């Protein structure tokens, strides 16, 4: 990358000038579409509108909307002029919305019509201006309408650009202060991971309110003049497949759950249901994987050069297949607090189970290493690390050392080539009866590969391990007519799971009980299960 950015204002001015005639963002099936030039005009108009309602540099402006081109327009109208964006995930509850908007002292709001009803009325009344993301019209305004011009200024690299509230998998919400420098360093690191150019095309399927999609799926392509398509409807297979074929993306971001579901619900059953493919799998497995890989790339439109996977650990069996199939996937590792990249493995350089090495401009090492296992906590230092947690000095000090090292809470080991392999979360480690560390994620990987199981979670209760499992749709009929037969079938499935798992894990990791969840597990934006919700047995 020839240009080095210091602020998002520089990114905005550079790209809208250099790529003015090129397409920037488009809503598939909708009427929102921007060239870089028209995008610049819209952002400037929105910034002037915010100023006319007294929204100054340093003021917080929230964005509560599903993905659409007006989302990045709102974002740049806020951040490029020194204000602070407060993105909200669409699945937040009314109580969570209230807490975030109150704690952040948000003064203005961009919101879609679909989500407007979730915002408490008293909060809407406190806003100086509320703007609809669907058409950028004013939904309502306060008494200060057009009474003053807000004071705006060019942001500095260390100024906060975005305040992102995250509960991760622990349930304790934190306001992560990300600076302009944090985002700009991630743009440069993304370029180092994979060169995106002006003719590249993205299809966005992850929430823009999450740092992963915001940094790498929105800001990075914008900085290099590429185009991003957004979907009007949820990214289900029936929606994605025809759009992949029509728009033929060259790059996109995903979480493990997406590609794992494609593998388990499409690829594995297709092979198992064909006598010819089963014969090929036995006699010519490598050839079969290559052929399936070609078919998979064709499913994505045939032009895919980069498929970024991040947000959680990818299942080992699925990753082994992707490598054999020569699918152009890349692994990214990071957290909201690092905006998000800490490490990555480029396309063609991946190893099963490894997150790769440190990202560009990032120092990365293991802290408090166990001399027997070689495992330690991943810590990182660099210009990608957040400024801290908003109004929360105590929790900031717990994760940020005085010399700038950020403690991720992820336990990992390294191989002789310096590649990192995550074992589990510091907060989710279960201490065994002899003091040994048990990583529930490793047991879950075994369970998830059992036929008909959609996802699983392993927890400790009363000194023993319990596996919570959710089956694929239509495997169990919860509206059973014959209760005795249903319970008998359920007990057989639970016993089969118990026996299979305990024959595939070490003695300390054996589970004692299996519980079946009727509904899918509650998840974060990057599809990680919220473990804290399942520690106690439900009545």
Q: pTM for the whole thing?
A: 0.85
pLDDT for 431 beyond 80: no
364-392: average pLDDT: 95
539 pLDDT tier (thresholds 50, 70, 90)? low
Q: 9-13, 142-146, 500-504 — which is least confidently predicted?
A: 142-146
Q: Average the pLDDT over 393-398 and give the result.
A: 94
pLDDT in tens, 163-209: 999 864 444 578 999 999 999 999 999 999 999 999 999 999 999 99
CA distance 440 to 465: 9
DSSP state of 233: S
Q: What is the pLDDT of residue 334?
A: 94
Identify the three-state secondary structure at position 161.
strand
Token match 């929204």: residue?
55
Lowest mean pLDDT among 160-164, 204-208, 489-493: 489-493
Quickly state the pLDDT bin for 519 (edges 50, 70, 90): confident
Quick one: pLDDT at residue 236?
83
E strand or H helix at 333: strand 329-334
DSSP 369-393: --TTT--EEEEEEETTS-SEETT-H
Lowest-pLDDT range of 92-106, 165-179, 329-343, 495-509: 165-179
Residue 507 confidence (pLDDT): 78
Q: Whose CA is closest to 49, among 141, 170, 187, 134?
A: 141
Give the SS3 label for residue 89: coil
pLDDT at residue 505 above 90?
A: no
How many C-beta atoms lie closer than 10 Å to residue 431's C-beta?
A: 10
As a CATH number, domain 255-425 is 3.40.50.12780
Are the C-beta atoms of residues 335 and 386 closer than 8 Å to each other? Answer: no
The answer on pLDDT for 244 being more than 50 is yes
Instruction: Give the domain ranges of the chain.
Output: 8-186, 255-425, 431-534
3-state secondary structure of 359: coil
Do 255-425 and 8-186 have the same topology in CATH? yes
Q: In this structure, what token pair is assigned to residue 397? A: 């000090």
CATH number of 8-186: 3.40.50.12780
Whole-number pLDDT of residue 168: 46
> Which has more confidence, 525 or 231?
231
- What pLDDT is recorded for position 170? 47
Report the CATH architecture of 431-534.
2-Layer Sandwich (3.30)
If you average pLDDT over residues 280-306, what whole number do you get? Answer: 94
Residue 309: pLDDT above 80?
Answer: yes
Q: Could you tell me the two tokens for 39?
A: 């995008």
365 vs 479, residue with greater confidence = 365
Q: Looking at the predicted structure, is the pLDDT value of residue 257 above 80?
A: yes
């Amino acid at each position: 990358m020839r240009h080095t950015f210091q602020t998002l204002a520089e990114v905005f001015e550079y790209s809208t000038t250099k790529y003015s005639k090129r397409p920037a963002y488009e809503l598939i099936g909708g009427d929102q579409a921007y060239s870089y030039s028209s995008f610049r005009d819209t952002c400037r108009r929105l910034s002037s509108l915010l100023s006319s309602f007294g929204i100054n540099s340093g003021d917080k402006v929230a964005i509560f909307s599903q993905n659409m081109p007006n989302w990045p327009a709102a974002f740049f109208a806020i951040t490029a002029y020194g204000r602070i964006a407060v993105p909200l995930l669409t699945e937040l509850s009314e109580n969570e919305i209230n807490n975030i908007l109150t704690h952040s002292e948000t003064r203005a709001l961009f919101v879609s019509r679909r989500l407007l009803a979730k915002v408490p009325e008293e909060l809407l009344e406190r806003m100086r201006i509320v703007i609809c993301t669907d058409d950028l019209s004013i939904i309502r305004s306060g008494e200060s309408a057009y009474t003053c011009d807000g004071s705006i200024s060019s942001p500095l690299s260390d100024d906060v650009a975005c305040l992102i509230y995250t509960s991760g998998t622990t349930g304790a919400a934190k306001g992560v202060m990300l600076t302009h420098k944090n985002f700009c360093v991630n743009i440069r690191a993304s370029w180092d991971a994979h060169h995106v150019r002006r003719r590249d095309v993205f299809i966005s399927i992850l929430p823009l309110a999450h740092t992963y999609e915001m940094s790498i799926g929105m800001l990075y392509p914008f900085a290099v003049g590429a185009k991003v398509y957004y979907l009007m409807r949820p990214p289900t297979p029936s929606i994605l497949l025809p759009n992949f074929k029509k728009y033929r993306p060259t790059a996109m971001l995903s979480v493990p759950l997406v590609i794992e579901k494609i593998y388990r619900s499409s690829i594995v059953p297709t092979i198992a249901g064909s006598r010819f493919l089963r014969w090929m799998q036995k006699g010519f497995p490598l050839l079969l994987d290559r052929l399936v890989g070609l078919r998979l790339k064709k499913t994505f439109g045939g032009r895919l050069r980069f498929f970024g996977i991040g947000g959680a650990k990818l299942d080992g069996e699925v990753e082994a297949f992707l490598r054999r199939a020569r699918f152009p996937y890349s692994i990214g590792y990071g957290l909201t607090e690092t905006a998000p990249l800490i490490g990555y493995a480029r396309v063609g350089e991946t190893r099963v189970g490894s997150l790769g090495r440190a990202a560009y401009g990032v120092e990365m090492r293991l802290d408090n290493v166990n001399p027997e296992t070689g495992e330690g906590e991943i810590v990182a230092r660099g210009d990608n690390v957040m400024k801290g947690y908003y109004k929360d000095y105590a929790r900031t000090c717990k994760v940020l050392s005085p010399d700038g090292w950020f403690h991720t809470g992820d336990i990992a080991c390294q191989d002789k080539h310096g590649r990192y392999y995550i074992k589990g979360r510091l907060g989710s480690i279960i201490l065994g009866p002899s003091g040994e560390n048990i990583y529930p994620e490793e047991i879950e990987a075994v369970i998830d590969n059992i036929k008909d199981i959609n996802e699983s979670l392993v927890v400790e209760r009363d000194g023993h391990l319990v596996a919570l499992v959710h089956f694929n749709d239509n495997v169990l009929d919860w509206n059973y007519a014959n209760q005795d037969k249903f319970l008998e079938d359920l007990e057989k499935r639970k016993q089969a799971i118990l026996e299979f798992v305990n024959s595939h894990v070490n003695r300390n990791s054996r589970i004692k009980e299996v519980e079946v969840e009727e509904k899918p597990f509650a998840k974060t934006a990057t599809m990680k299960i919220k473990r804290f919700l399942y520690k106690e047995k439900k009545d």
